[in-house]
């Protein structure tokens, strides 16, 4: 088991180990040392807009240079942009300084390989071993060099636009775009406006502290209000590092990741553009989406929660579309990671070609009400051997029949057991979840 790496890099509270300048200095050195084992290496470093990014960018840069690795600095850049630019600049690895959808008090680091994919477990294990060794800089003649890539922004904007069918355009579409005061603040407007849309921007003035603060994909109330206020056709919300995206329809209703994946999947399936007629979701994917996909003859495969696990299943089954209800959507025929802007473009393309409103496309899938209760625990709970819970679970599943679903799992980050119940009727879901939580 890794000491530092979680399912998506290393993340935590700024100033609390391991998210400290001295650790990230050594982390840069350790990663650089591993990458350099096969010859001269280079990395690119990008970050989101939180204030601690300045500190950690400098620390990582110094660590890489001391390992003899050349560094390209990108400045603020969405996580998927770094995945793409790692390949575009032929770097050995890409480095992201971000805590994704968390508030500014947190930060973290994640890495992409030269092919734009998350670093393998083998690489992570090698880095963890290197971190246990004393930090020793290379000889002065071999210290790495750093350069700032001023063209990175334009390259990524053009790449995003290249994934959209240019035989159509977005003229006549009015949209409100919420950048969560994060890494898409200086990119999203260019992409959508250059494709013809009328774009109204909100939460695109980061100050280092307001990232994900009452805005973005994790809090869409402001976006919903602005869509109604401007009588816009739709709204788009990204999270702080730009790898998640949810939408709001013209009625001001949220359209989540499950509904967006369904919209894309249905269109691609109809056009014969959905390889193996398969979509990858997670344990949390809504039962309504599963049923709607099945009615179209599309296979749904469940992965563990987390984009890394979704990607594993996509590769295993030859799928090009996967995602989570949170809005992390992977279009593998377009790019190598979840990308909020590119996912939004795929939905917009479907809207333009179908000549239907987002509201209408969303309602082609009937989403089941979902109730989630978090049960705090003092100690680790062995769910499989919890006799009383298993008895209650059998009763609840019998009551739900084929019209509902239960998921009980331990949180990977907090002392909690998460109890989730879906059913056609919200009252049934609430009562079932309360019954299971009470037993726990």
The residues assigned a catalytic role are 100
**Phi, psi (deg, nearest 5) at residue 58:** -65, -40
Spatial separation of the C-alpha atoms in residues 202 and 189, rounded to whole Å = 10
Asked whether the beta carbons of 170 and 191 are under 8 A apart, the reply is no
Helix runs in 132-247, H state only: 152-162, 188-194, 221-230
Q: How many residues does the chain have?
A: 440
CA atoms within 13 A on the CB side of 149: 25
Maximum distance among all Cα pairs of the chain, rounded to whole angstroms: 72
* DSSP at 276: G
DSSP string spanning 325-344?
TTS-EEETTT-SS--HHHHH
d(CA 271, CA 265): 10
Nearest-5° Cα angle at 132, 128 to 134:
130
- 71 with 147: CB under 8 angstroms? yes
């Amino acid at each position: 088991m890794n000491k530092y790496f979680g399912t998506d890099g290393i993340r935590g509270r700024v100033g609390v180990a391991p998210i400290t300048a001295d650790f990230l200095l050594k982390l840069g050195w350790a990663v650089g040392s591993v990458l350099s084992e096969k010859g001269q290496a280079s990395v690119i470093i990008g970050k989101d807009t939180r204030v601690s990014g300045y500190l950690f960018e400098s620390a990582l840069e110094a660590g890489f240079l001391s390992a003899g690795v050349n560094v390209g600095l990108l400045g603020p850049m969405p996580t998927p942009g770094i995945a793409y630019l790692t390949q575009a600049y032929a770097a050995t690895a890409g480095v992201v300084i971000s805590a994704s959808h968390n508030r500014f008090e947190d930060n973290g680091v994640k890495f992409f390989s030269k092919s734009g994919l998350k670093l393998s477990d083998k690489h992570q294990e090698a880095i963890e071993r290197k971190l246990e060794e004393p930090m020793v800089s290379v000889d002065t003649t071999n210290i790495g060099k750093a350069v700032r890539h001023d063209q990175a922004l334009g390259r990524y904007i053009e790449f995003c636009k290249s994934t959209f069918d240019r035989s159509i355009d977005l003229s006549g579409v009015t949209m409100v775009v919420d950048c969560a005061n994060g890494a898409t603040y200086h990119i999203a407007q260019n992409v959508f406006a250059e494709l013809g849309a009328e774009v109204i921007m909100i939460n695109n003035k980061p100050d280092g502290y307001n990232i994900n603060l009452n805005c973005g994909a994790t809090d869409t109330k402001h976006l919903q209000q602005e869509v109604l206020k401007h009588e816009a056709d739709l709204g788009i919300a990204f999270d702080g590092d730009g790898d998640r995206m949810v939408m709001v329809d013209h009625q001001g209703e949220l359209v989540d990741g499950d509904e967006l994946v369904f919209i894309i999947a249905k269109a691609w399936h109809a056009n014969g553009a959905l390889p193996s007629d398969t979509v990858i979701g997670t344990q949390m994917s809504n039962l309504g989406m599963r049923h709607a996909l099945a009615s179209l003859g599309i296979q749904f495969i469940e992965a563990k929660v987390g984009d890394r696990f979704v990607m594993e299943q996509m590769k295993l089954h030859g799928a090009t579309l996967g995602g989570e209800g949170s809005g992390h959507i992977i279009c593998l025929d377009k790019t190598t990671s979840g990308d909020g802007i590119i996912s939004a473009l795929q939905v917009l393309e479907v809207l333009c070609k179908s000549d239907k409103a987002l509201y209408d496309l969303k309602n082609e899938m009937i989403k089941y009400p979902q109730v989630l209760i978090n049960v705090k625990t003092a100690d680790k709970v062995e769910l499989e051997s919890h006799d009383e819970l298993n008895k209650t679970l059998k009763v609840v599943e019998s009551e739900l029949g084929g019209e509902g679903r239960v998921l009980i799992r331990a949180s990977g980050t907090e002392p909690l057991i998460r109890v989730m119940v879906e059913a056609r009727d919200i009252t049934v879901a609430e009562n079932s979840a309360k019954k299971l939580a009470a037993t726990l």
